[in-house]
Structure 1
């Protein structure tokens, strides 16, 4: 091509994985791109002339069949031909043109050059291996909480030698407009001096300002390494009750910056973490509800990037945990200490720490023993106060009455164990639907050793093979919304005809798989991501399968969170028109992986009887 149409570069810029390259690389790629209008009539000539090559679909619909007879139904934003480029032994593919369209053709040489970029190569190896190429875990570092400190430092450190006078140090602080200085010896941290030191140790005591600064500095201060994140910095500053934290390079321990309380506030005020801190400070139900109702607005304003969504559910769940503990404190302050040991237990999304804007509350009270009438009355009022308080905070009441305010969910330890034994004896679909939510549980307040005891006693009960087989069969009753021709099956919702309930038809299916394998392995952790991580590590699942399902879960939740925040919605109906072509491709790949995992689980746990 002698000229490069702007639409080619524009399309490449928007098409992963080409979007990782700089402008010069994209320009070089575009110059070596063949733009072809692919039809049923010219397809054989095109393939004979250009293959092996990489094809990117700009428009049209095509069915690609490999040498094993496996079909891929592709459309805008999808690729084909890459398997032949990655594996020279791969046989010729067959192309059926369902709807003619424009495709971009990249030669094997261009593909080889671009594959020098690891991200580009991994995208296509993942597609070849039928796993979802998802940088969700790595991209989570983009969230405010996990952003590396070296990306957040506003300026180079202002440092002085220990022999400098106190007066000279004060002048440096004034000239630079900073509230602290790093004191060094041979470019290594030995102390810090702050404006508070000048007030308390110099001005207030009338100390000679010509003395060296090391007479007032804080020696051997706490520090943090530059490759750690803001969350670690906040935790350390809170633990040490300090307002200035030097940041040192991880390799040579040389100073690279300073994190101050002002930095923390500046970072937090623009995100929901600030709200978490505000929740902790509340001293009344009125204050708690006022802060809690601001959380959705903070999420909508600050969760913008894909990585933001990966832990948004965890942050929201932490907020609900704090609300719960605050409400319990308020009740005890008014009504006195509980008459026995108790544990406030949460289920479902709060237990897994993947709450969304539409999540309701699912909770219970675990008691040390059966209460007498007076004790029962206390805990009834206790549960009623907390559940209604959560409702006032925006965590809506459970339609299914899975709440501690329900007398059936205020159980002694012995009664809770008997309940688990009843579960394994009653495995009808209706019964499984009723108790499934209790299989994801977590202690939030009270005596956590009581909850740990329950977990230990229930573990062997819930590893019953017949029980697990019933769970596997039941989880297979709901299938992914993908037709036999790999077309997305959508529903109408709120005036849009191309919606998929991403919770019911996708996220819940992955949660079911994680829960099933975790019960078999005797894991008591409730989080889906944590379950897959450990299952792969201990060999309870194939590590590749566990990692793929983990990344699928993250990808699906990104779509769900983006939908809710972008549309100010609490439902889970994601419109396919809101997805990019690559996301549609990834969604199809995710659905196929989930379907395979479901079939595998039925074979593993129930001998293939579904």
Structure 2
């Protein structure tokens, strides 16, 4: 190829990771030796050779990678790669790369690929991480064990407490009291030589008549059982049971990094969702519910550590919120007496969509079977104030916009709710559109299903194929955009401090929620959860399979990034937020996050074309 042919190839590769990390001489050599292939979707699949493996670089078109069982491993577009075992599942022959759209693909042979990896460390590191990412992506389609498959390090919240082996027992006991721990690690020249526990103090000091001035090495449990930080919680449980012990020092490459106790494991077991929900349902007063709710942050952290899918985490956390809400309603009904009429407790926003994460506030309302009289109004006022107050005390803070059932404005009869939604749809002013982003994602948490169905059916009848309302709702959905600037660089915002970051919620997740909501309301779809809405839109042919799956992937990836970021903030004892600092991302993760935001950008453009073409 001459220079005029090489230039577009060079410009393309210079803008995508990790080719943008190559030194100029290697990039030039790469461009000169690339093969070029054109793949039509009439071919169905790309023919892959196990004898002459190559790296395939997608210049245009769309492809899917599936394993022998037909499970989706990845979806690929411009700037993505496939081909080598390290970029797929480890079984190149059994995997298929399906052609969704005609595409142009560059071929990079194995000898040159190895030369680039040897000549550029960043290039090599990128593909090592791509392998790990692909394996994780494959596992996303399988069930995660949420407790015993967790790693030991997920249970460690604080640094280990340790003393020198010559320290007195008295000083060690004071240190244990100060840090509120039941054991300390005993060190000799930076090496773990033993542990001192409450039981040791009782059996080897007090029971033997020793004073507190003896050295800890005289009372400690020498050469204790230990466990590695990356071991499974199940292994720790087994080890404690076999040796009848309650403390396990945790090591990382031989160095003590923490201590796990039987209490830690019991506490983590109690934060499993089913057990936690069962415990909620067994409580008989509000103070007990408040105490149980303190396990919710640990549940979230366990789910993040188990690498559960963001969609699963949202459903689990919301199930706990629903259980708390129902139990509060039941407890206060027992105090107030039977309700004067049938009612539904409505959840809006993130609880309605079942995608709650950390820092969730309340968004709820009350649907009454009929207009209440004075006595009924007093009953429901007392009930809603008590339930909202209880949720606030359990960690679900009062809504800053006062969208709560305790506000009389959101405590209405069926006919009043129907009229309110009708007004919003028929007069889509800015305030109505703001409410639409919250109230149109609604779900019944407590109460008779037919009563809620009457409201939902009425709402969908008003929104289905309502061009004026849908155009206005689309305009509102496009008021914000993904944080991408020129050349797909991130646009950073301040999070209220001097730090700059990417708002993953309002510039990512919320935008996808808005897109899915418009399509769902236009088609009268009952689903409220965004991922389920997208799947239904694909099944009904409203979104193409490729566009819908890309949007679903972007939703999951951005939500996963939010959760992982909040998990790091929790571990570092930082305030939880939705702001991600780009400098904390690897080159690979930056690349993938930009791709996810590009999907959102394209989906917004398609939404505008469909619903605002005539306006």
Q: Distance in 2 between matches of 1:358 and 1:280?
A: 23
**Which residue number in structure 2 is paired with residue 512 of structure 1?**
514
Q: Deviation string for 1:407-442 (max 9, x for gaps)? A: 010111111111111012322334311332000000
Is residue 47 from structure 1 mapped to residue 49 from structure 2 by the alignment?
Answer: no
- Taking structure 1 as reference, are residues 311 and 543 closer, same or farther at Cα in structure 2, changes over 3 Å only? same
1:427 alignment partner, SS class: coil
- 8 Å contact 1:532–1:546 — kept in the other structure? yes
The structural deviation recorded for 1:274 is 2.9
Is residue 580 of structure 1 aligned with residue 586 of structure 2? Answer: yes
Q: How does 1:450-599 map to 2 (within 5 A)?
A: 450-463=451-464, 464-493=466-495, 497-568=499-570, 569-599=575-605
Describe the shift of the 1:581–1:462 C-alpha distance in structure 2 as closer, same or farther (beyond 3 A). same
Structure-2 change in CA distance of 1:497 and 1:124 (3 Å): farther
| Residue pair 1:271, 1:299 contacting (<8 A) in 2 also | no
Q: Match for residue 206 of structure 1?
A: none
SS in 2 for 1:508: helix
* 8 Å contact from structure 1 (residues 413, 454) kept in 2: yes
Conserved in 1, the CA contact under 8 Å of 2:441 and 2:528?
Answer: yes
2-side partners of 1:293 and 1:580: how far apart?
34
> 1:478 Cα deviation (Å)?
0.5
Write the distance in 2 (CA, Å) between the matches of 1:310 and 1:113: 24
Structure with more contact order per residue of length (Cα contacts < 8 Å, sep ≥ 6): 1
Offset from partner CA, 1:155-178 (integer Å, 9 cap, x none) = xxxxxxxxxxxxxxxxxxxxxxxx
Runs of 4+ residues deviating >4 angstroms: 34-37, 84-87, 106-116, 118-130, 132-138, 145-148, 264-268, 494-498
Counterpart of 1:303 in 2: which secondary structure?
A: helix
Q: Do the aligned residues in 2 keep the contact of 1:52 with 1:108 (CA within 8 Å)?
A: no
Match of 1:427 in 2: 428
Is the 2:483–2:491 contact (alpha carbons within 8 Å) kept by the matching residues of 1?
A: yes
Question: 1:82 is paired with a residue of what secondary structure?
Answer: strand
In the aligned structure 2, how far is the partner of 1:514 from the partner of 1:292? 32
Q: Do the aligned residues in 2 keep the contact of 1:140 with 1:146 (CA within 8 Å)?
A: no
Find the counterpart in structure 2 of residue 219 from structure 1.
none
TM-score, length-scaled by structure 2: 0.61
Cα shift at 1:135: 6.8
1:4-403 residue pairs with structure 2 within 5 A? Answer: 37-39=22-24, 43-48=27-32, 50-52=33-35, 82-83=57-58, 117=92, 139=140, 141-144=142-145, 268-269=269-270, 271-403=272-404
1:607 to 588, 605, 613: 613
- 1:367, 1:305 → 2: CA distance? 41
Deviations 1:4-54 (A, max 9, x none): xxxxxxxxxxxxx99xxxxxxxxxxxxxxx999522x66434421x32399
Structure 1 residues 417 and 146 mapped into 2: Cα distance closer, same or farther (>3 Å)? Answer: farther
Question: For residues 442 and 527 of structure 1, what CA distance do their matches in structure 2 show?
Answer: 10
Q: How much has 1:506 moved relative to structure 2? A: 0.5
Structure 2: state its 5+ residue gaps.
1-16, 38-53, 63-80, 106-132, 150-264
Please provide the CA RMSD for this pair.
3.9
Residues matched between the structures, number: 418
Assess if the C-alpha contact under 8 Å between 1:137 and 1:551 holds in 2. Answer: no
**3-state SS in 1 of match to 2:140:** helix
TM-score by length of 1: 0.62
Per-residue deviation, residues 356-393 of structure 1 (Å, max 9, x unmatched): 11111100000011101111111111110110010011
Q: Distance in 2 between matches of 1:285 and 1:273?
A: 20
Cα gap change, 1:512 to 1:35, in 2 (>3 Å): closer
